[in-house]
Amino acid sequence: MDIKKWLFRILWIPVLVIAVLFLIANREPVSISLDPISAAAPSLTTMALPLWAWLYFMLFLGFAVGAAAMWTSGRDGRIKARAERRELKSLRADYEAVSRELASLKNSPATSDLPKIESADV
């Protein structure tokens, strides 16, 4: 086996086991207080949910915020790619038009617009 797989297993399996044990041990509903001033009677609290539900919610929220940040940070690249795609489309159309014109010139008989010069010595 690859050493990266072993290191991954050695590091992440204990972390996952500790996380599962933590979630099993903390099954009671908890409410999260958003009031830093009054600890006894907070004015802003959430509904009481199991700790695992809050952790999943925060994980999802972090994923959504990260995805939105990545999407907005790639805006300039998407704008540039869109402009380059339009330019490539017009260049392909120009290339096709020139190719068709060249093919029609190759297939037509060679007629020259230049006058023929005849010799008087013959």
| Per-residue pLDDT, 114 | 60
Domain that holds residue 51: 3-28+46-66
Let me know if residue 39 belongs to a domain: no
HSE-up of residue 7 (Cα within 13 Å, Cβ side): 3
Alpha helices by DSSP H, the chain: 3-25, 51-73, 75-107
pLDDT above 60 (res 112): no
Q: What angle do CA 65, 67, 68 make, to 5 degrees?
A: 65
Let me know if residue 54 belongs to a domain: yes
Q: Which residue is listed with tokens 């990545």?
A: 70
Torsion-angle region of 117 (φ positive above 0: left; ψ -120 to 50: alpha; else: beta): beta
Domains: count for the chain: 2
24 and 53: one domain?
Answer: yes
Q: Please check whether residue 23 is in contact with residue 52, taking contact to mean a CB–CB distance below 8 angstroms.
A: yes
> Tens of pLDDT along 33-53?
887 887 777 778 888 899 888
Query: Where does the pLDDT of residue 55 fall: very low under 50, low under 70, confident under 90, or very high at 90 and above?
Result: confident
Let me know if residue 40 belongs to a domain: no
Query: Where does the pLDDT of residue 82 fall: very low under 50, low under 70, confident under 90, or very high at 90 and above?
Result: very high
78 and 51: one domain?
Answer: no
| Per-residue pLDDT, 26 | 85
Let me know if residue 110 belongs to a domain: no
Total number of residues shown for the chain = 122
Q: Point out the least confidently predicted range of 21-30, 58-67, 74-83, 111-120.
A: 111-120
